[in-house]
């Protein structure tokens, strides 16, 4: 009876499609962030494209949660689906926060460290996309775990760059307003890598649970 009942209950396999679509928007947003850091004179265009990626990702998150609430049998744990899509959404929210801060604070120049942090963020986001793309095939757990380890390593790299950047900022920058502005940007950039690491941790948990 239980087997028959399970067969009659609706199954939903679109979650991995949602994850992949969202991860693509994350990579698009992070690529625009790298461009923004290198071309502040064109900040409005980069910021607009980041906003577009963020809105598209928000819709994917919304659709994912709607399907989750109406699905009886899910391919992975319901809480893991919820945590994964919301943590992924946090990444793009922070990318948007960086872009908005650059405009709000009217930052006219960024440091090499800020540009380096943006590149690390983009590399983290690319690996989030890779890990999410592999998630539908849990028969290859080592490839997923290796990608998650790379995200962890990049997050550590971002920590080191931020500490060095903060140290130089407080030693060398004489404009207190610029200190405040760049400090805020550094912290947001490093937080992007933290959220990527959160996603990696969730994915690692899913893999280990199903291995």
Cα 79 from chain centroid?
19
Cα 47 from chain centroid?
17
Task: Tell me the CATH class for 13-210.
Answer: mainly alpha
Angle, CA 135 vertex, CA 134 and CA 136 arms, to 5°:
95
Please tell me the pTM assigned to this model. 0.91
From CA 93, how far away is CA 79, in angstroms rounded?
21
Q: What is the 3-state secondary structure (H, E, C) of 39-83?
A: CHHHHHHHHHHHHHHHHHHHHHHHHHHHHHHCCCECCCCHHHHHH
- Encode the chain (211 residues) as per-residue pLDDT tens digits: 333 333 433 445 689 999 999 999 999 999 999 999 999 999 999 999 999 999 999 999 999 999 998 887 888 889 999 999 999 999 999 999 999 999 999 898 899 999 999 999 999 999 999 999 999 877 778 999 999 999 999 999 999 999 999 999 999 988 889 899 999 999 999 999 999 999 999 999 999 887 7
Tell me if 110 sits within 8 A of 186, measured CB to CB.
no
Residue 1: partners with Cβ closer than 8 Å, 6 or more residues away? none
The two tokens of residue 161 are 């760059």
With b for 16 or more beta-carbon neighbours within 10 A and e for fewer, the 190-211 pattern comes to bbbbebbbbbbebbbbbbeeee
Which sequence spans correspond to the domains of the chain? 13-210
Cα 178 from chain centroid?
27
């Amino acid at each position: 009876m239980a087997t028959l009942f399970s067969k009659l209950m609706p199954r939903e396999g679109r979650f991995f499609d949602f994850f992949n679509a969202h991860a693509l928007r994350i990579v698009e947003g992070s690529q625009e962030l790298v461009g923004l850091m290198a071309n502040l004179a064109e900040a409005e265009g980069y910021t607009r494209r980041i906003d577009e990626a963020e809105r598209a990702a928000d819709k994917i998150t919304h659709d994912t949660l709607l399907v989750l609430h109406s699905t009886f049998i899910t391919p992975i744990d319901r809480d893991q689906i919820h945590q994964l899509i919301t943590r992924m959404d946090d990444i793009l929210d922070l990318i948007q926060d960086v872009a908005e801060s650059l405009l709000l604070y009217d930052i006219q120049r960024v440091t090499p460290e800020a540009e380096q942090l943006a590149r690390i963020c983009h590399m983290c986001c690319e690996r989030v996309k890779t890990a999410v793309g592999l998630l539908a095939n849990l028969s290859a757990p080592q490839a997923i775990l290796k990608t998650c380890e790379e995200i962890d390593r990049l997050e550590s790299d971002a920590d080191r760059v931020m500490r060095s950047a903060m140290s130089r900022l407080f030693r060398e920058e004489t404009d207190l307003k610029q200190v405040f502005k760049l400090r805020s940007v550094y912290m947001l950039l490093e937080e992007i890598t933290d959220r990527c690491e959160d996603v990696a941790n969730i994915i690692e948990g899913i893999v280990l649970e199903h291995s």
